[in-house]
C-alpha cells in the first residue's frame, strides 16, 4: 500500500466516525497501519473535520513514532495508537471516540456486559474498562501510559484483542480496533450501540445476566473464524 492509499483509508475512517455520529467537535481520531511498510498514519491534532483532507494525515514510523510524511502535528493521542499497534499484532486500524454511551460507561468505570447477540456478533464477551490510571502514569507520558494500561488490562484479564476489539479507558472514553480501518470503524459503532442497549436493558431489568457461552460462541463464530457463514463469503 502506498502512503497515499493509507492516508486515504485513514481519512475515510475519520470521516466515517463523524458520519456515524460518534464524534462531537474534534473528539475523535482514527489511525491505520501498514505492517509491510512498518508505518502508521493518523489524523492531525485538533483540526476541524470540515477542513480535513486525506493529505493532512501524518505518517509515522510504527517502531519509533518519528514523522515520515506530513506537515501537521499528529493527534495528541498518537502514542496510544502507536503502542496498541505495536503490542497487538491483529490491529490494522484504531478508532478513538467520545461516543455518548461508550463514554458514559467509561466514566462509570464499568465494563460493558454482553447482554445480546448485537454485542456478541462483533465482541466475543465483555468489553473491559481499564483500571484508573495512577497519578504518575497521568503526569508524564500520559498518552503512552494510556496504551500501556489498555494492554495490561487485556493481558491481566486474559482477553484476546482480536476477539474483543475494543476497550473503555477509565474516566476517559472508548478505543476500538480491527484488522482494517473499516473494521475498526464498524467495531467503534457496535461498541457504542452495545453500550446504549446495555444501559437500557439494565434499566428495564436490573437483574439481567450476560448471555450464555453457547450463544456467545454461536454469534461470534458465525461471523469470525473458519466456520463463519454470515455474508457473501470471499
Residues that bind a copy of itself (CB under 8 A): 24-25, 27, 44-47, 72-73, 76, 98, 100-101, 103-110, 115-118, 121, 132-133, 135, 138-139, 142, 171-173, 186, 189-190, 193, 196-205, 208, 211-212, 214-215, 218, 222, 229-233
Question: What's the Cα-to-Cα distance from 140 to each of 28, 135, 137, 146, 155, rounded to whole Å?
Answer: 22, 9, 6, 11, 23
Nearer to a copy of itself, 34 or 185 (CB): 185
Classify burial at 99, counting beta carbons within 10 Å of its beta carbon; exposed 0-12, middle 13-18, buried 19 or more.
buried
Active site residue 121: yes
Question: What's the Cα-to-Cα distance from 56 to each of 1, 37, 48, 51, 184, rounded to whole Å?
Answer: 18, 19, 11, 9, 20
Contact 6, 34 (CB under 8 A): yes
Which cell numbers hold the place of 170?
Answer: 477509565
Nearer to a copy of itself, 153 or 169 (CB): 169
Task: Tell me how crowded residue 149 is: count the other CB atoms within 10 A of its CB.
Answer: 20
Closest separation between CB of residue 169 and a copy of itself, Å? 9
Q: How far apart are CA 108 and CA 64, in angstroms?
A: 34
30 φ, ψ to 5°?
-130, 145
The DSSP 8-state label assigned to residue 71 in this structure reads S
Nearer to a copy of itself, 34 or 70 (CB): 70
Residues 6+ apart with CB under 8 A from 203: none
Closest separation between CB of residue 13 and a copy of itself, Å? 15
Q: How far apart are CA 48 and CA 183, in angstroms?
A: 24
Nearer to a copy of itself, 110 or 163 (CB): 110
Closest separation between CB of residue 84 and a copy of itself, Å? 18
Closest separation between CB of residue 35 and a copy of itself, Å? 26
Closest separation between CB of residue 120 and a copy of itself, Å? 9
Nearer to a copy of itself, 66 or 234 (CB): 234
Indicate which residue of 3, 121, 142, 163 is catalytic: 121
Q: How far apart are CA 99 and CA 85, in angstroms?
A: 22
Enzyme catalytic residues: 121, 230
Amino acid at each position: 500500500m502506498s502512503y497515499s492509499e493509507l492516508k486515504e483509508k485513514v481519512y475515510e475512517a475519520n470521516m466515517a466516525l463523524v458520519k456515524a455520529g460518534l464524534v462531537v467537535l474534534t473528539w475523535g481520531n482514527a489511525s491505520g497501519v501498514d505492517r509491510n511498510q512498518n508505518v502508521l498514519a493518523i489524523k492531525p491534532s485538533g483540526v476541524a473535520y470540515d477542513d480535513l483532507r486525506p493529505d493532512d494525515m501524518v505518517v509515522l514510523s510504527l517502531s519509533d513514532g518519528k514523522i515520515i510524511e506530513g506537515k501537521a502535528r499528529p493527534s495528541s493521542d498518537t502514542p496510544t495508537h502507536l503502542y496498541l499497534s505495536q503490542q497487538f499484532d491483529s490491529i490494522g486500524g484504531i478508532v478513538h471516540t467520545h461516543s455518548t454511551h461508550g463514554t458514559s460507561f467509561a466514566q462509570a468505570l464499568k465494563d460493558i456486559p454482553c447482554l445480546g447477540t448485537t454485542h456478541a456478533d462483533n465482541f466475543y464477551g465483555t468489553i473491559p474498562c481499564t483500571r484508573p490510571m495512577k497519578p504518575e502514569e497521568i503526569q508524564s507520558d500520559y498518552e503512552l501510559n494510556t496504551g500501556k494500561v489498555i494492554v495490561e488490562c487485556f493481558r491481566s484479564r486474559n482477553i484476546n484483542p482480536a476477539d474483543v476489539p475494543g476497550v473503555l479507558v477509565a474516566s476517559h472514553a472508548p478505543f476500538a480496533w480491527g484488522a482494517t480501518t473499516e473494521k475498526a470503524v464498524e467495531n467503534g459503532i457496535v461498541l457504542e450501540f452495545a453500550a446504549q442497549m446495555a444501559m437500557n436493558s439494565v434499566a428495564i431489568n436490573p437483574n439481567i445476566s450476560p448471555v450464555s457461552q453457547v450463544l456467545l460462541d454461536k454469534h461470534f463464530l458465525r461471523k469470525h473464524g473458519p466456520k463463519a457463514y454470515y455474508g457473501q463469503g470471499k
